[in-house]
Structure 1
Amino acid sequence: MYRFIMSLMLVLPVSVFSALNYLQEDITNDTTWTIQDSPVYIYGNITVKNGATLTIMSGVEVYFMLVEGDGGFREGSELYIADGKLIAEGTQLLPVIFTSGGDIRSDGDWGCIAVEDDSVVNLNHCVIEYAKAGLIFWNLSSMSEMASSVNYCRIYHSSEVGILFYNSSPTINFNSIKNNRYGIQTQGLSSPTVNYNDICSNYSYNFRNLSGLNQDATSNWWGTTNINEIEANIYDYYDNHNYGVVDYTPFLESSYFNEGGIGDKSLGWLRSIFVP
């Protein structure tokens, strides 16, 4: 399908691509993508703005095409929510898929889904894969996107980070965040709600706290019940005293998606009392 689309691009005028859902223009009015519109191809940076809401229904596949030097948050095609709203409502059987448009998909093929300031994103049952940064919540003020939420999503194969927060505190629950360079990274005044997720098998750290605030990352599955292994994959106060602690106890004793129980390890409590 990808080769077919690219070959058509060489011979057909741009106006024809609307029928193929090949997007290069910003979204300024309320828009809904249904499975009848799928697949949708994004080339370059597409911004949802002017108060518009983009709603993506279950089963829609969104392909981010390979581009260079686009000047966005990250190099590569991006979906950017600025003064707008993104609602993606997948189901367990028919998730919304955000993925690479490349013939051979690789980590970092496209940029990111970026949410700026008080814009809102609500994602349920989505797959976000092969980006540089799966999701970026970026707020230049001290306010946070408390209304945003990411639930029951799979965020895999990001070359930089699965989810990045800067001065942002959305709710991140019931997700699988794996096979990224960093699973979660917090910066600035971020303090997201991160519970009941699988955060494991990321290449550098599962949770990287570059914020001066302590982070609540309790009741997550870290891929192991071995405290030393869990802590080895968390970057926080104990690696650099300029940053806050990532509180990971109590933690799940197995994958949340396998109905794992919750384990309360006393070492986590002992660890926290030494933080000034």
Structure 2
Amino acid sequence: MKRKLFFFAAILASVFVSCTPEETESPITHANETITQPTTWLKSEGTHTVTGTTIVENTSLTIEPGTVIKFSEGAKLIVRGQNSSLTALGTTSLPIIFTSASNAPAAGDWIGIELNGVLPTTTMTFCTVEFAGGNNSYGAVNISGCAVNMTSCTIRNSNSYGITVSTNTNYDSKFGTFTANNISNCLNAPIRIHPNFVHTIGLANIITTATGIEIPGGTYTQTDETWKLQTVPYVITDDLTIANTSNTTLRIEAGSILKLASGVSINVSSSGNYGSLIAQGTELLPITFTSNSNSPQAGDWDYIIFKEGATGCIFDHCIVEYGGANSSWGMIDLQKNAQLSVKNSTIRHAKHYNVEAEDQTGFIAFENNTLTKANGHLMKIRAMNINSLGTANVYNTDTNSGIYVTGSSSNYNYIEQNATWRAVNTAYFIEDPLIVRNNAILTIEAGAILKFMEGEIMQIGESDSYGKLIAQGTAQLPIIFTSSSPAPQAGDWGGIRFTENTLEGSILSNCKIGYAGSSSSYKGNIIVYYSAANNPVIENCEIHNSKYFGIYLKKTSGNLGNPLLSGNTYYANVSGEIGQDD
């Protein structure tokens, strides 16, 4: 009997000695649990399974490297409260896994992890969050009213967003750090975040999703921050305003792509507030503002408008395309006193105008840009602002369109400061009377083409206000003043009028002036009042197809206009070469 008992005891002892702790411990289940004391979930405890909602309330939850947490259908983990924190510090070899409890896991099996108002020490590193997204309004990770640190984490297979960062403007919801993370295979955007905190998305992230980082509009008010280059575009789904009572600056990193949803606009500055948008790309890494459509078309989005109070704005090596849905504004629209420099950029495929600057301001710089449109005018601009169009710009459109020059609400195109209109590879189309006054000198470069709409005129000087025109072409590059009609006829426009207040030294040389003489009161392509002897000089010009005379001399205080004429050619003028008042 004693031998039997001893043998049985030996067997039991050997069983206990041979068992490891992992073999004896069972998986832990957290069923609708509320944690109120500092707690650590250990890898050695086996798999942790969450059913229902587990809440960490005003305390800390620490998860050991290598721990696996499985979530049943519809389950979620909430960490909330100003004294709460989540510390999940995995490693490369021992990542922490948040996953589905299903034997056949699929996106949306569980809800996700919600971090609400937690301490800024909340950190996730080398964590994998997968098969979540059971609530279409929230991400696999949802951040609200706090700053969360995420490094080297993987978010994948979400049936909703990857990460949602609350856009409620009453709370600061953002990342403390967000670097070297990997987000893939999300039904919605990989990240949804308010424009004020996009800059908290850091570097070295690899995002491979069908859609980009969603920015749901709103007002950006940060002092000076940068939206960094990511592996997917930023997608702006509602109007974005860049403005604050003190100046606010948004910078876009070279190579970034911003996609705008249907009807969306970017507004730089607003009434009483100030803003600056600086988009400086490079030749190899341009910044692109484009449509969010998979089949982009002109007019998919609205405009980027620079309003009064927009200061120091820069577009350099940018591509702006497929906007311009609103006929009242250009795809890029410059309003009064706004400061904008545009260089080395491609502006194309607007529904209406690619660029508009019809208010009382011009560009700080506008150089080496290419504007392209299948048909229709490329730019709408006031005459006073044309001087701000610099060199090396290329304008590509049909032959009946170009740069549309308007007087805007005043209905007059005034030149009141010295200005130069450069010769470009398209024409200037003049909508309203073009008047040089206030002692201004308008210089037109050789090779420039000015096309005037029905009945419009060019006038040098005005009553009690003087002006001067210098239009000196060459035999190879004449300056052309003509009708805007595709099928021009004599009398289409009103001609060039040199008033009695034309400053001496005005000149038309190697110019072609045709199809004017629309008014019986001003019977010529060129009308000259007496301003001084031999003024203006008209030489080596072709003057043709006038409804009346080529040149008509008007009488002022008994004196006829007295231009200096030399080497001109006249043809197809209905009433003859030169006429005059009786």
Q: Same fold (TM over 0.5)?
A: yes
How far apart are the structure 2 equivalents of 1:104 and 1:59?
A: 21
Q: Secondary structure at the match of 2:299?
A: coil
Deviation of 1:21 after TM superposition, in Å, equals 3.1
Task: Show the 5 A alignment for 1:16-165.
Answer: 17-18=192-193, 21-23=213-215, 24-29=217-222, 30-36=224-230, 38-50=232-244, 51-66=247-262, 76-82=263-269, 83-120=274-311, 121-132=313-324, 133-139=330-336, 144-145=337-338, 147-165=339-357
CA RMSD of aligned residues (A): 3.2
Check whether the contact 2:234–2:259 (CA below 8 A) recurs between aligned residues.
Answer: yes
How far apart are the structure 2 equivalents of 1:84 and 1:35?
A: 21
Indicate how the Cα distance of structure 1 residues 124 and 48 shifts in structure 2: closer, same or farther if over 3 A, else same.
same
How far apart are the structure 2 equivalents of 1:34 and 1:189?
A: 37
Deviation of 1:217 after TM superposition, in Å, equals 3.9
Structure 1 counterpart of 2:136: 11
Structure 1 counterpart of 2:425: 221
Deviation of 1:192 after TM superposition, in Å, equals 4.8
Indicate how the Cα distance of structure 1 residues 241 and 164 shifts in structure 2: closer, same or farther if over 3 A, else same.
closer
Q: Which runs of no fewer than 5 residues in structure 2 stay unpaired?
A: 1-132, 139-163, 166-190, 194-200, 202-211, 325-329, 408-412, 437-441, 449-473, 481-507, 514-524, 529-582
Q: Secondary structure at the match of 2:303?
A: strand
Using the size of structure 1 for normalisation, the TM-score is 0.73
Indicate how the Cα distance of structure 1 residues 271 and 109 shifts in structure 2: closer, same or farther if over 3 A, else same.
same
Which has the larger displacement, 180-189 or 39-48?
180-189
Structure number with bigger Rg:
2
* CA deviations over 1:162-199 (Å, ceiling 9, x no partner): 11012221121110011163211114854451132001
Check whether the contact 1:112–1:136 (CA below 8 A) recurs between aligned residues.
Answer: yes
Check whether the contact 2:447–2:479 (CA below 8 A) recurs between aligned residues.
Answer: no
Structure 2 counterpart of 1:258: none
Deviation of 1:126 after TM superposition, in Å, equals 0.2
* CA deviations over 1:119-168 (Å, ceiling 9, x no partner): 132110000000013200012xxxx33x4210000000000101101222
Question: Aligned AA for 2:323?
Answer: A
Of residues 389, 398, 420, the one that matches 1:194 is 389
Indicate how the Cα distance of structure 1 residues 249 and 40 shifts in structure 2: closer, same or farther if over 3 A, else same.
same
Question: Aligned AA for 1:200?
Answer: N
Residue 369 of structure 2 corresponds to residue 175 of structure 1: yes
Indicate how the Cα distance of structure 1 residues 90 and 179 shifts in structure 2: closer, same or farther if over 3 A, else same.
same
Q: Which runs of 4+ in 1 moved over 6 A?
A: 245-248
Q: Relative CO higher for 1 or 2, CA cutoff 8 Å, sep ≥ 6? A: 1
Q: Secondary structure at the match of 2:230?
A: helix
How far apart are the structure 1 equivalents of 2:318 and 2:434?
A: 31
How far apart are the structure 2 equivalents of 1:209 and 1:105?
A: 29
Q: Which runs of no fewer than 5 residues in structure 1 stay unpaired?
A: 1-7, 67-75, 223-229, 253-262
Check whether the contact 1:21–1:37 (CA below 8 A) recurs between aligned residues.
Answer: no
Deviation of 1:266 after TM superposition, in Å, equals 3.1
How far apart are the structure 2 equivalents of 1:150 and 1:209?
A: 19
How far apart are the structure 1 equivalents of 2:399 and 2:264?
A: 24
Q: How many residues align?
A: 232
Indicate how the Cα distance of structure 1 residues 217 and 188 shifts in structure 2: closer, same or farther if over 3 A, else same.
closer
Q: Secondary structure at the match of 2:192?
A: helix
Deviation of 1:93 after TM superposition, in Å, equals 1.2
How far apart are the structure 1 equivalents of 2:314 and 2:278?
A: 5
Structure 1 counterpart of 2:477: 265
Using the size of structure 2 for normalisation, the TM-score is 0.36
Check whether the contact 1:110–1:130 (CA below 8 A) recurs between aligned residues.
Answer: yes
How far apart are the structure 2 equivalents of 1:104 and 1:123?
A: 25
* CA deviations over 1:183-231 (Å, ceiling 9, x no partner): 1111485445113200121586210000213574414333xxxxxxx4x
Which has the larger displacement, 53-62 or 25-34?
25-34
